[in-house]
Structure 1
Amino acid sequence: MIEVDKIWIVIISDRLRRRRPLNGRWEPALLAPLILTVVVAGLAFATPRKVAFSRILTAAPALAASMWPVLPTVLLGLLCLLIMIGLSLIYPDLGTWYTVAAIFAVTVAAAYASHIRLQREKTLGHVRLVADAAQEVVMRPLPRFVGRVEIESLYLAAAAQARIGGDFYEAVDTPYGVRLLIGDVRGKGLAAVGAAAAVVNSFREAAYDEPDLRDVARRLETSSTRHSVAFATQDPSESFATAILAEIPDNDSRIGLLNCGHPPPLLLHAGQLGILQPTAPSPLLNLAELIGGEYSVESVRFTPGDLLLLYTDGVIETRNRTGEFFPLPDWLRRQSPAVPRELLDRLHRDLLDHSNGGLDDDIAVLAVRLREHPEHEGPGPSGSGVA
Structure 2
Amino acid sequence: MRSLQVLRWLPFIVMLGVALTDLLAGESLVFLPLLTLGPAFASVSGGVRRTAAVGAVALAICVPMAIYNDLLFTWENNLTVIGIVGVTGASMLASRLRLERERELASVRQVAEAAQRVLLRPVPRRAGDLRVALSYTSAAAEARIGGDLYEVVTTPHGVRLLIGDVQGKGLAAVETAAWVLGAFREAAYDEADLADIGDRLEASLARHLGGEQFVTAIIAEIHEAEMSLVNFGHPAPLLVLAGGELRTAEAPEQWLPLGLGMFDSSTPKAHRIPFGGGDRILFFTDGVIEARNAAGEFYPLTERAWLLHRDDPQTALDALRADLVEHAGGPLLDDAAMLLLHRPVTDETHQVMAPP
Using the size of structure 1 for normalisation, the TM-score is: 0.83
In structure 1, stretches of 5+ residues that fail to align are 1-20, 375-387
Task: Please name the residue that 2:274 is paired with.
Answer: 301
What does 1:224-303 align with in structure 2 at a 5 Å threshold? 224-228=205-209, 232=210, 235=211, 238-249=212-223, 252-269=224-241, 270-303=243-276
TM-fit CA distance, 1:373: 6.0
CA displacement at 1:179 relative to structure 2:
0.9
Verify the 8 A CA contact 1:179 1:247 in the aligned structure 2: yes
Q: Encode CA deviations 1:309-364: one digit per residue, 9 max, x unaligned.
A: 00011111112233221111122146653422222222222222222214221111
* In structure 1, distance between residues paired with 2:170 and 2:79: 51
In the other structure, the counterpart of 1:370 is 343
Separation of aligned partners in 2, 1:179 and 1:99? 72
> For 2:106, which of 102, 108, 125 is the aligned residue?
125
Q: Distance in 1 between matches of 2:327 and 2:56?
A: 49
Q: Is the 8 A contact 1:303 1:370 kept in 2?
A: yes
Query: 1:168: how far off?
Result: 0.5
**For the residues of structure 1 that align with 2:188 and 2:308, how far apart are their CA atoms?**
33
Matches within 5 A, 1:130-279: 130-228=111-209, 232=210, 235=211, 238-249=212-223, 252-269=224-241, 270-279=243-252
Separation of aligned partners in 1, 2:247 and 2:4: 45
Contact 1:281 1:296 in 2 (8 A): no
Cross-structure match for 1:12: none
For the Cα contact (< 8 Å) 1:148–1:372, is it kept in 2?
no
For residues 68 and 103 of structure 1, what CA distance do their matches in structure 2 show? 17
CA distance in 2, matches of 1:323, 1:27: 36
Question: What is the one-letter code of the residue matched to 2:281?
Answer: L
Distance in 1, matches of 2:266 and 2:8, equals: 61
Query: What letter matches 1:267 in structure 2?
Result: L
Alignment partners' CA distance in 2, 1:83 and 1:29: 20
Separation of aligned partners in 2, 1:219 and 1:335? 34
Distance 1:183 1:47 in 2: 66
Letter in 1 for 2:68: I
Native 8 Å contact 1:165 1:189 kept in 2: yes
> Is 1:62 the equivalent of 2:36?
no
- In structure 2, which of residues 319, 323, 327 is the aligned counterpart of residue 350 of structure 1? 323
Distance 1:125 1:26 in 2: 18
SS in 2 for 1:48: helix
Q: How far off its partner does 1:182 sit?
A: 0.1
1:312/1:365 contact within 8 Å kept: yes
User: Is the contact between residue 218 and residue 234 of structure 2 (CA under 8 Å) also seen in structure 1?
Assistant: yes
Pick closer, same or farther for the CA change 1:188–1:173 going to 2, 3 Å. same
3-state SS of the aligned residue for 1:66?
helix
Check conservation: 1:154, 1:366, Cα contact below 8 A: yes
- The code of the aligned residue for 2:16 comes to V
Calculate the aligned-residue CA RMSD, in Å. 2.1
Residue pair 2:307, 2:316 contacting (<8 A) in 1 also: no
- Percent of aligned positions that are identical: 42
Give the Cα–Cα distance (whole angstroms) in 1 for the partners of residues 346 and 32 of structure 2.
Answer: 74
Check the 8 A contact 1:273/1:333 in 2, yes or no. no
Instruction: Note if contact 1:283-1:292 (Cα within 8 Å) is conserved in structure 2.
Output: no
Q: Structure 2: which 5+ residue stretches go unaligned?
A: 348-356
The whole-number CA distance in structure 1 between the counterparts of 2:30 and 2:131 is 69
Aligned length: 343
Q: How does 1:17-56 map to 2 (within 5 A)?
A: 21=1, 25-45=3-23, 48-56=26-34
Measured in 2, the distance between the counterparts of 1:31 and 1:150 equals: 49
Task: Give, in whole Å, the separation in 1 of the partners of 2:49 and 2:157.
Answer: 62
Q: Does structure 1 conserve the Cα–Cα contact (< 8 Å) formed by 2:225 and 2:276?
A: yes
Question: Which of the pair has more CA radius of gyration?
Answer: 2
Q: Distance in 1 between matches of 2:88 and 2:191?
A: 67
Q: TM-score normalised to the size of structure 2?
A: 0.89
